[in-house]
Amino acid sequence: MVPVLVEKKLLGPDGLGGAELPSEEEQEQEQEQNLWSSILREVSTRSRSKLPSGKNVLVFGDDGSGKTTLMTKIQGAEHGKKGRGLEYLYLNIHDEDRDDHTRCNVWILDGDLYHKGLLKFAVSAESLQDTIAVFVADMSRPWTVMESLQKWASVLQEHIDKMKIPPEEIRDMERKFMREFQEYVEPEEGYQGSPQRRGPSSGQEDEHISLPLGENVLTHNLGIPVLVVCTKCDAVSVLEKEHDYREEHFDFIQSHIRKFCLRYGAALIYTSVKEEKNLDLLYKYIVHKTYGFQFTTPALVVEKDAVFIPAGWDNENKIAILHENFMTVKPEDAYEDFIVKPPVRKLVHDKELAAEDEQIFLMKQQSFLAKQPATPTRASESPARGPAGSPRTQGRAGPANVPSALPITSVKKPDPNIKNNAASEGVLASFFNSLLSKKTGSPGSPGAGGVQSTAKKSDLRNHVKCNGDAKPTVSDA
């Protein structure tokens, strides 16, 4: 039997058949109503998909590790001022797909353990699940890396234990974090559309069986994402030149850091603010872990100063590849036994010297000179010095028959006339001495001859003095 379609017609007031068309006003009202409905639906959709606020990034690290400089650089500021206690910054988060903006809080704890009590102002029991922890290690001082990581991880664990969080909520956070760690899927190279890890949207992914964890994996589950950032990786060349670090040293350091990351389920990234290395990668990974943005960068382990290992990628077998380069050390050796702190060199310029005031210095010198004994002048140096300037010993007379030696000129500049008289007198004395020496061999008693020669010498000298500068002759002699 074929169905028969019956067409019904509405009867108008005049009894004629035909449907009444809606008026223009009714059509406009219906369009306006549909427009408002679409606007309300869009607003409600945006409110549900709006970026969440109240996300936190907790940054730990020793003094001088560069944590404030690192976060300031990621923020986009040129110069950051280091504070004390607990510093606060924020990161601008922009969702281009939804055209939405929000701010991510960044709390930087001081490197002094005295300020660890300030953590209660940064994160509470309610905001802990919206927090990511960042441990900063200084690669310019690799001998402090492991001690620093262990110290700040203990500080965070102690703070979480002091919070009044119900045990069931803590277990839920730990199970969620472990599931994210196990379900990590490395992004395919060149494919930008796929998410980094499987999400719980499809039933097939819910039935995914996670592989069991290794022996030393997630032994310290904090329930929140953890990121280890090694700063100042540009110091690798300095360590090679000044401290004779080799490839073996850097592989040993990396292996111990990666083992620490496995225990806490943390990611690892090497950065350098000086060379602006991996800074954008660090920002994208933080946004990915806090807001769930897509992240398509795979692990990077080729360059020793630009390592990046996302959480969930690493395992014991991949770390064992580094052990192949070990020649003088074993993988199980203690970190501090091989990475030894170099001896401290005392530098002269470490101590700042302050210049003394000029007037104070001169006053000290004046008082010092006043205490010194007076220095004798040349005029009063030796009263025993003779008029001719030659010193003689008192109480010791020379031989009677030997005349005085040639006069020595004084230090003072003599008068020219006196100098000429002394020179002529010296010539005469030497002349008569030669004559007297010839007469010593004449017959007679030595004593008489000596007295007689002395008398003749004195008579001749007096005669010469009376005659002035007259030259002696044979007749005078």
- DSSP state string for 413-443: PPPHHHHHHHHHHHHHHHHHHHHHHHHTTSS
Q: What is the dihedral of CA 140, 144, 149, 152, to 10 degrees?
A: -110
* pTM for the predicted model, two decimal places: 0.61
Phi, psi of 91 (to 5 degrees): -110, 135
Q: Which amino acid type is present at position 410?
A: S
d(CA 255, CA 149): 14
CA dist list (Å): 345 to 144, 341, 350: 18, 12, 11
Count CB neighbours of 371 within 10 A: 6
DSSP-based three-state secondary structure for 11 = strand
d(CA 6, CA 348): 110
Q: Are 68 and 108 in contact (CB under 8 A)?
A: yes
Q: Which amino acid type is present at position 134?
A: V
Give every residue of the chain whose pLDDT is below 70, as ranges: 1-23, 27, 42-49, 79-80, 188-211, 345-351, 374-424, 438-477
The confidence score (pLDDT) of residue 100 equals 81
Distance separating the N- and C-terminal Cα atoms of the chain: 193
Q: Which two tokens stand for residue 143?
A: 């001998």
DSSP-based three-state secondary structure for 173 = helix
Q: Are 131 and 58 in contact (CB under 8 A)?
A: yes
d(CA 145, CA 152): 11
Q: Are 128 and 53 in contact (CB under 8 A)?
A: no
Q: Are 60 and 267 in contact (CB under 8 A)?
A: no
Residues whose CB falls within 8 Å of the CB of residue 55, separated by 6 or more in sequence, listed in order? 102, 104, 105, 130, 131, 132, 290, 291
d(CA 77, CA 472): 109
Residues whose CB falls within 8 Å of the CB of residue 100, separated by 6 or more in sequence, listed in order? 46, 50, 51, 94
Phi, psi of 209 (to 5 degrees): -95, 120
The confidence score (pLDDT) of residue 465 equals 46
DSSP codes, 200-264 = SSSHHHHTPPPPPP-TTSSSS--SS-EEEEEE-GGGHHHHHHHS---HHHHHHHHHHHHHHHHHH
Q: Which two tokens stand for residue 91?
A: 């990161």
d(CA 173, CA 471): 132
Q: In what order do the strands lie in the sheet with 56-60?
A: 86-95, 100-109, 56-60, 131-138, 226-231, 267-270, 308-309
DSSP secondary structure code for residue 184 in this structure: B
Count CB neighbours of 406 within 10 A: 13
As to burial, measured by CB atoms within 10 angstroms (0-12 exposed, 13-18 middle, 19+ buried), residue 333 is middle
Q: Which helix (H) or strand (E) holds 462?
A: helix 446-467
Count CB neighbours of 131 within 10 A: 23
Please name the residue that has the structure tokens 């074929």.
2
The confidence score (pLDDT) of residue 397 equals 45
In this structure, is the dihedral angle defined by the CA atoms of residues 243, 249, 254 and 259, taken in order, positive or negative? negative
H helices of 267-344, in order, are 279-291, 316-320, 335-338
DSSP secondary structure code for residue 411 in this structure: S
d(CA 205, CA 192): 20
d(CA 143, CA 395): 84
